[in-house]
Amino acid sequence: MAAQDSQRRVALITGVTGQDGAYLAEYLLGLGYEVHGIKRRSSSFNTARIDHLYQDPHSRKVPFLLHYGDMTDSTNLIRLMQQIRPTEIYNLAAQSHVGVSFESPEYTANADAIGVLRLLEAIRILGMEKETRFYQASTSELYGLVQEIPQKETTPFYPRSPYGVAKLYGYWITVNYREAYGMFASNGILFNHESPIRGETFVTRKITRGVARLEVGLEDTLYLGNLEAKRDWGHAKDYIEGMHLILQADQPDDFVLATGETRSVRELIEVAFAEVGRSIEWHGKGVEETGVDKKSGKTVVRIDPEYFRPTEVDLLIGDASKAREKLGWKPKTPFAQLVKEMVASDLENARREAAHGKHSL
Ligand code: NDP
Ligand code: GDR
């Protein structure tokens, strides 16, 4: 590598339009990286989470460039890699919804499993093994059926969805290319992380958005699935810093990022409603269960069996000691603060919608 090349800090982020991609792009721009992102062609705008990065004059000091692409298209990925020659790749693109992966299992495998192989092969085909570091967005969904708690890097995997199985391939092909070709290729095994820009169909955002819309009078009832599932929920902003640290380590390796705390979906609902001064009383059992707002006496939560998954992950709680010891990473945002921030942001959105209505065609 030329001396000048070793100074280059050029990141390629797949999935830049998603929650993590948006936060990571902003973070890396702040560190002075030239940032390239891959976005999919869509019939409507899909860059809402990163539009401000164009507008923010502070971000204009370094280039932020978007390229059309798709994890299912090798030709596109190889061409972009050749053109950009990134020093760091963050592979965040994925069909990331566990429930949807049961509906679209083959597509999920194509994007989430073979997509990882396509990127690793692009590095190899272009002879970039020594100049490019690779981060794979692995997941606590790999643990699936509980084998050990808390879950850590050495806990056996037992995925419980087409998403989890596809991500299992992504995990192992990353390890294999590291061992076979000496690549700097690392997995971040991240437990659930959320934020005000979390996709609206993931349970945290669905709940905080639902609470806000109920409060403002845009909706009456929040329909949910399994209330007993337990997750280790952290803030996405803390986790993207961990992704960056993983690629700055001396050696490529695999790291769990988690808070070490777990809560059920039911507890999350209670905490979110408490943010707007409401407490929930539970009635009935199973799919007949309802959540009643004590203040108004109205039923605000109902169960819709459609949201149950054929196989569920019951309990996730991570042990991030390795990341703390080797990378100096630890989560900063307490759960209560995360929920507060999400409800406040969704209240603002709901009030804006109530005042101005939705855009129509
Ligand atoms: P999001 O669903 O918010 O974002 C996913 C991104 O991938 C979007 O930019 C999406 O584009 C893009 N994408 C989907 N399919 C393709 C494709 N075929 N080709 C190119 N781009 C594609 O996910 P998060 O930001 O929450 O997660 C980032 C990554 O981390 C994902 O891989 C996820 O599986 C993984 N992960 C997430 C965790 C979490 O708690 N958030 C925990 C552990 C792992 P578009 O905007 O057009 O849909
Ligand atoms: P998860 O997140 O499956 O953990 O995957 P999600 O928020 O979708 O579900 C968490 C738990 O809540 C239960 N649940 C519901 N889930 C959704 N989406 N909608 C509902 O109405 C509902 N009711 C109950 C689910 O059954 C589940 O047990 C997320 C994604 O970001 C993955 O990409 C990532 O890999 C993992 O987190 C770590």
Does 325 map to a domain? no
Q: Please pick, among 23, 90, 163, 239, the residue that the annotation labels catalytic.
A: 163
What number does the ligand 1 atom closest to the CA of 20 have? 25
Tell me the ipTM for this assembly. 0.99
Helix (H) or strand (E) holding 299: strand 299-303
Does 319 map to a domain? no
pLDDT single digits (tens) 190-240: 999 999 999 999 999 999 999 999 999 999 999 999 999 999 999 999 999
The total number of structural domains that make up the chain? 2
139 within ligand 2 shell (Cβ under 6 A):
yes
Question: What pLDDT is recorded for position 60?
Answer: 60
**Is 141 one of the annotated active-site residues of the chain?**
yes
- What is the span of the domain harbouring residue 280? 203-230+264-314+334-356
* Contact between 194 and 235 (Cβ < 8 Å): yes
Q: Is 137 in the same domain as 219?
A: no
Q: Which two tokens stand for residue 157?
A: 């995997």
Q: Please pick, among 14, 87, 139, 262, the residue that the annotation labels catalytic.
A: 139
Task: Give the span between the Cα atoms of 83 and 13, in whole angstroms.
Answer: 14
Task: Give the span between the Cα atoms of 6 and 19, in whole angstroms.
Answer: 30
Does 80 map to a domain? yes
Residue 182 contacts by C-beta under 8 Å, 6 or more apart in sequence? 129, 130
Q: Is 207 in the same domain as 130?
A: no
Q: Please pick, among 26, 141, 194, 275, the residue that the annotation labels catalytic.
A: 141
**Is 163 one of the annotated active-site residues of the chain?**
yes
Q: What is the CATH number of the domain that holds 269?
A: 3.90.25.10
Percent of the chain with pLDDT over 90: 94
Question: What pLDDT is recorded for position 3?
Answer: 41
Percent of the chain with pLDDT over 70: 95
Residue length, the chain? 361
Does 255 map to a domain? yes
Does 212 map to a domain? yes
Phi, psi of 24 (to 5 degrees): -65, -40
* 81 Cα to the center of ligand 2, angstroms: 32
Residue 347 has pLDDT above 60, yes or no: yes
Task: Give the span between the Cα atoms of 70 and 76, in whole angstroms.
Answer: 7
Q: Is 293 in the same domain as 248?
A: no
pLDDT single digits (tens) 12-60: 999 999 999 999 999 999 999 999 999 999 999 999 999 999 766 565 6
Q: Is 52 in the same domain as 99?
A: yes
Question: What pLDDT is recorded for position 157?
Answer: 98
Q: What HEC string does 30-95 produce?
A: HCCCEEEEEECCCCCCCCCCCHHHHHCHHHHHCCEEEEECCCCCHHHHHHHHHHHCCCEEEECCCC
Question: What pLDDT is recorded for position 210?
Answer: 98
Does 328 map to a domain? no
pLDDT single digits (tens) 164-190: 999 999 999 999 999 999 999 999 999
Q: Is 212 in the same domain as 151?
A: no
Question: What pLDDT is recorded for position 357?
Answer: 77
What number does the ligand 1 atom closest to the CA of 19 have? 25
Q: Is 38 in the same domain as 176?
A: yes
Q: Is 102 in the same domain as 149?
A: yes
Question: What pLDDT is recorded for position 361?
Answer: 57
Residue 1 has pLDDT above 60, yes or no: no
Provide the H-helix boundaries in 130-257.
162-181, 203-216, 236-248
Q: Is 29 in the same domain as 139?
A: yes
Residue nearest to atom 28 of ligand 1 (CA): 92
Mean pLDDT of 152-161: 98
Q: Is 172 in the same domain as 208?
A: no
Residue nearest to atom 10 of ligand 1 (CA): 15
99 within ligand 2 shell (Cβ under 6 A):
yes
Does 280 map to a domain? yes
Does 324 map to a domain? no
Residue nearest to atom 5 of ligand 1 (CA): 18
Counting ligand 1 atoms within 8 A of each CB, the residue from 12, 13, 20 with the most, and so the one to mutate, is 20
pLDDT single digits (tens) 236-283: 999 999 999 999 999 999 999 999 999 999 999 999 999 999 999 999
Closest CA to 92 of 112, 121, 114: 112
Mean pLDDT of 82-89: 98
- Within 10 A of 181 (CB to CB), how many other CB atoms are there? 13
